[in-house]
Amino acid sequence: MGKYLTKRSEDYSKWYNELVVKADLAETSAVRGCMVIKPYGYAIWERMQSILDKKFKETGHSNAYFPLFVPKSLFEAEEKNAEGFAKECAVVTHYRLENDPDKPGKLRVDPKAKLEEELIVRPTSEAIIWNTYKNWIQSYRDLPILLNQWANVVRWEMRTRLFLRTAEFLWQEGHTAHATEAEAMYEAKQMNQVYADFVEQYMAIPIIQGVKSAAERFAGALETYCIEALMQDGKALQAGTSHFLGQNFAKAFDVKYATKEGSLEHVWATSWGVSTRLMGALIMTHSDDHGLVLPPELAPHQVVIVPIYKGDAEREAIALAVAPIIDALRKKDVRVHFDNRDTHKPGFKFNEYELKGVPLRIGIGPRDVANGTVELARRDTLSKTTVDQSELVNEVTKTLADIQQQLFARATQFRTNHTTEVDDFDTFKRVLEEKGGFISAHWDGTEATEIAIKESTKATIRCIPIDGIEEKGSCVYSGNPSNKRVLFAKAY
Amino acid sequence: MGKYLTKRSEDYSKWYNELVVKADLAETSAVRGCMVIKPYGYAIWERMQSILDKKFKETGHSNAYFPLFVPKSLFEAEEKNAEGFAKECAVVTHYRLENDPDKPGKLRVDPKAKLEEELIVRPTSEAIIWNTYKNWIQSYRDLPILLNQWANVVRWEMRTRLFLRTAEFLWQEGHTAHATEAEAMYEAKQMNQVYADFVEQYMAIPIIQGVKSAAERFAGALETYCIEALMQDGKALQAGTSHFLGQNFAKAFDVKYATKEGSLEHVWATSWGVSTRLMGALIMTHSDDHGLVLPPELAPHQVVIVPIYKGDAEREAIALAVAPIIDALRKKDVRVHFDNRDTHKPGFKFNEYELKGVPLRIGIGPRDVANGTVELARRDTLSKTTVDQSELVNEVTKTLADIQQQLFARATQFRTNHTTEVDDFDTFKRVLEEKGGFISAHWDGTEATEIAIKESTKATIRCIPIDGIEEKGSCVYSGNPSNKRVLFAKAY
């Protein structure tokens, strides 16, 4: 189990891949670039979904569902968006198979069943949704439209990695329509804030909120808000984005509304999304050489109880002692799992739950039963204490809260240690090479500089922080004047 | 609103189509045969999902996620299954678009980006899942596997209808693997029972549980359990199926496990699913010429409060009176919506909620405020009563329970009235033509007879009821001996 995991210091990338598989989160499939999300990984995703879904509804959004396919003519209507995704589209061209006359028992595509117009498997749904909104919006009374959809999307990536970059992934995509620019801008910022709160409070991952440079913007957006996190290997990860789309899609699909005053105006739009990529961020922020480390808020099991016994009599005595403990924990809404399997030894189970990142493990043997105690082990610190059963519920709830807080504090400390202010390009390159992390540097605001830095170092502008301080400075690359630092990093 | 709906007696099919659109449940999209599920329709589906998901988890199942695509070579591995779905498959053949050199601003499929092996958009996931299970199962310790997935699937239907038959639809598909035949059979029956309970208790639709004849079985199954419901136009609707797959998929994908005794055996399988088709069943069972009628268990809003006022002062006084009512109802977990929009008149709102099937409507005007009363209107009976505000919470909860019960009772009565025992073929044809509904008749058990009856009447065997009585009889078509009646009907 844990001991067979490659160490992060040896090969971070290999460690990640092994961990995802060994902790039963996901695995590759027979379909190039597509993953199987295993039950344990999916249970974490389900918790993320249910918390986010609640937050979306609290901010006035409803769920709906739009088609998986986008006819090519709609796909290409908003040119920048189409251009941005054209090179990674799965395309449906036929709607039937037939028996292969040359190979008995095999099938082939029926050439007579060619579609008149090809269908794109959605890489994102702006096109199909705005083509629909067109029919829903006539007057200001029909606005705003505040919808979200939980869906699968496909982007034909050439280099894929479980959760981080897969050809098919699961996500939610919000698509809203507004009467005014200000309202749409407010919405885009609001949803970026919802993401920031979720990622920090539930995933225990500190993030920087910012806007993307023009080169890094979503294809078709006028402004892309984002939350950026820092992984343990010093690379950044974009954890969520919220786009102010202006009137681009309204113009491409001719969506206008009658104002109160009777004039016709194009509608303003936003879209925003987070995906199963968040699973990658979760894993890479907290986990260690022993395996996954989960923040209690998202752990499918917050506590696992492992009995340590010889023979049926001890097993039964422990089960009896454990029953009221489970009961008391569940009453406090603690998600507890009693692993009473007789097919596996305690050592095996200890390893398994360490690898799977269960925040707290309770070990209980015959002596504990006699003494009214249990052994309580923390996954984050790997520390163990003996706790009186009478104190256990308090201790568990207190410790779970502490783990949640400590994980966030540790990740924040790591990010602070790995954010470096830099004022010249030699230092920029050296820090990036030797230390990694975020580099806070002045930038002259031109795409030429951004591209030159990327080509020279592979670092990109992760974001222009929204709470960045105005200060006079000169661009780390060109020396031209700049009035704000931006964050550079190599990124996932 | 309601008054503009075609009457069921005039054109049932047109009534259905209009209702789905006008009640804001779903609409057709720009993609042939694919629907847009609108927020109100999706909210009903979400309630169904959450109740079913809970039931699946209570019976030991976990959720997971498998790829959208199935490589052709896996798709064709289980021959009967492949044959059953080959004619309705969306096929991905390319993974990139390029600029169309002949049409500036347009895209075309990049002929250089042709896939080596075509990918089938899943019409069902047995193939991709059993190809995965193969790697998960070595020993009896790995069994059972009890998984479910919530997903979209695509079946290229030629004639589509919103919810009832769409090219893409949403569903859940359970896929389980077992060590023994008995255990798999138990699972298949258990999940059919879970569906039966859900459909009767929450959707208020009475169903008949049965097994399918060989001709109507799922492609690749040895036995298909089903629940069959009867719609108001006398046609049957298959509301859910649960398949005992035997060892067919284990053999096709070579999935074996080591028994406790050390021998190698093929694994036993089930799969089971319900889909957004249930929305069609819900609509067609309960709704009337005024619009949708929803059972309270599934209604997104169980109660809507519509204020009746002139001017701001009255509007405010009513809002003040309504606040504690909302509060008290929510404390009892009643889903209540206060429609205080000033942009629409009460009459418009009354029509809207009638059309949308909200079970209870509370109307409140200035006189009600003065008298401490409200007007309470039932959607199912369209009856109205004046209720004291002090009695309201009790009256609402009691009435909601009564509506739920009455809808089920009414649908059960309808089904009883439309189930006819028939012993000769002339009567069979006449009853089918004049009255419709289920025809309970003896059948000789042969596919030849089944086909002959279908060709002559369009009626199919909906199921062989599992609680059918053994009785000697002769086949309604061939006159050959039979020992059990089966249910025939025309079906959706």
Residue B373 maps to which CATH number? 3.40.50.800
**Residue A357 and residue A217 share a domain:** no
The answer to whether residue B261 sits within a structural domain is yes
| B47 close contact with A: CB closer than 8 A | no
* Domain-located, residue A234: yes
Do residues A328 and A253 share a domain?
no
Q: Are residues A169 and A49 in the same domain?
A: yes
pLDDT digits (tens, 9 = 90+) for A96-123: 999 999 998 899 999 999 999 999 999 9
Which neighbouring-strand residues pair with B338? Answer: B305
Q: Which of B414, B443, B459 is the last residue of a domain?
A: B414
| Structure tokens, A98 | 């037939």
Containing A137, the helix (H) or strand (E) segment is none
**Average of per-residue pLDDT values in chain A:** 97
A105 located within any domain: no
Q: Find the CATH number of the domain harbouring A228.
A: 3.30.930.10
| In-domain check, residue B326 | yes
Cβ neighbours around B351 below 10 Å, total:
18
Whole-angstrom Cα distance, residue B473 to residue B347? 58
The string of DSSP codes covering B192-232 is HHHHHHHHHHTS----EEEE--GGGS-TT-SEEEEEEEE-T
Question: Would residue B115 count as lying in a domain?
Answer: no
For residue A246, give the 3-state DSSP assignment. Answer: strand
- Residue A23 near residue A4, CB atoms below 8 Å: no
**How far does chain A reach from its first CA to its final CA, in angstroms?**
27
Report the C-alpha gap between B27 and B11 in whole angstroms: 19
Residues 322-341 of A with CB under 8 A from B: none
How high is the pLDDT of residue B149? Answer: 98
Query: Are B261 and B395 members of one domain?
Result: no
Domain that holds residue A20: 10-69+130-286
Closest listed residue to residue A54, CA positions, set B23, B61, B46, B151: B46
Q: Within an 8 Å CB–CB cutoff, is residue A105 touching chain B?
A: yes
* H or E element, residue B362: strand B360-364
Tell whether B107 is within 8 A of chain A (Cβ).
Answer: yes
Same domain, B373 and B446: no
Residues B355 and B444 in one domain: no
| Contact flag A107-B62 (C-beta cutoff 8 Å) | no
Q: How far is CA B10 from the centre of its chain?
A: 25
Question: Predicted ipTM?
Answer: 0.96
Partners of residue B91 in chain A, C-beta under 8 Å: 92-97, 109
For chain A, what is the domain count?
A: 3
Under a CB-based contact definition with an 8 Å cutoff, are residues A176 and A126 in contact? no
| Contact check, Cβ <8 Å, B120/A109 | no
Residues of chain B with pLDDT under 70: 1-3
Which pLDDT score is estimated for B360? Answer: 98
How many residues are present in chain B?
A: 492
B410 with B423, same domain: the answer is no
Q: Is the pLDDT of residue A208 over 50?
A: yes
Strand A438-442 to A419-421 pairing:
parallel
Q: Within this chain, do residues B280 and B330 fall inside the same structural domain, yes or no?
A: no
- Same domain, yes or no: A333 and A241: no
In a domain, B106, yes or no: no
Are A37 and B65 within 8 A, CB to CB?
A: yes
Contacts of A253 in chain B (CB under 8 A): none
Which of B280, B273, B236 has the alpha carbon at shortest distance from B41?
B280
The reply to whether B105 falls in a domain is no
Residue A260 lies in a domain: yes
CB contact (8 A) between residue A30 and residue B71: yes
Cβ separation B94–A93 shorter than 8 A:
yes
Q: What is the pLDDT of residues A129-145, one digit of tens each?
A: 999 999 999 999 999 99
Considering the domain architecture, whether residues A194 and A219 belong to the same structural domain is answered as: yes
Residues A381 and A438 in one domain: no
B235, B156: one domain: yes
Q: Which residues of B331-347 are buried (b: 16+ CB within 10 A; e: fewer)?
A: eeebbbebbeeeeeeee
CATH number for the domain spanning A449: value is 3.30.110.30
Question: pLDDT for A37-48, tens place per residue?
Answer: 999 999 999 999
* Distance from the A285 Cα atom to the nearest Cα atom in chain B, whole angstroms: 23
DSSP B41-84: HHHHHHHHHHHHHHHHHHTT-EE-B--SEEEHHHHTTSHHHHHH
- Can you give the pLDDT at residue B3? 62
**pLDDT per residue over B298-339, tens digit each?**
999 999 999 999 999 999 999 999 999 999 999 999 999 999
- The string over B162-174, giving b where at least 16 C-beta atoms fall within 10 Å of a residue's C-beta and e elsewhere, is bbbbbbbbbbbbb
Look at residue A476 and tell me whether its pLDDT is greater than 50.
Answer: yes
- CA distances to A64, A68, B29, B162, B229 from B166, rounded to whole Å, are 16, 12, 11, 6, 19
Residue A477 Cα, gap to closest chain B Cα (Å): 35
Asked if B156 reaches chain A (Cβ–Cβ under 8 Å), the answer is yes
Contact A30 B74 (CB under 8 A): yes
A380: DSSP letter? T
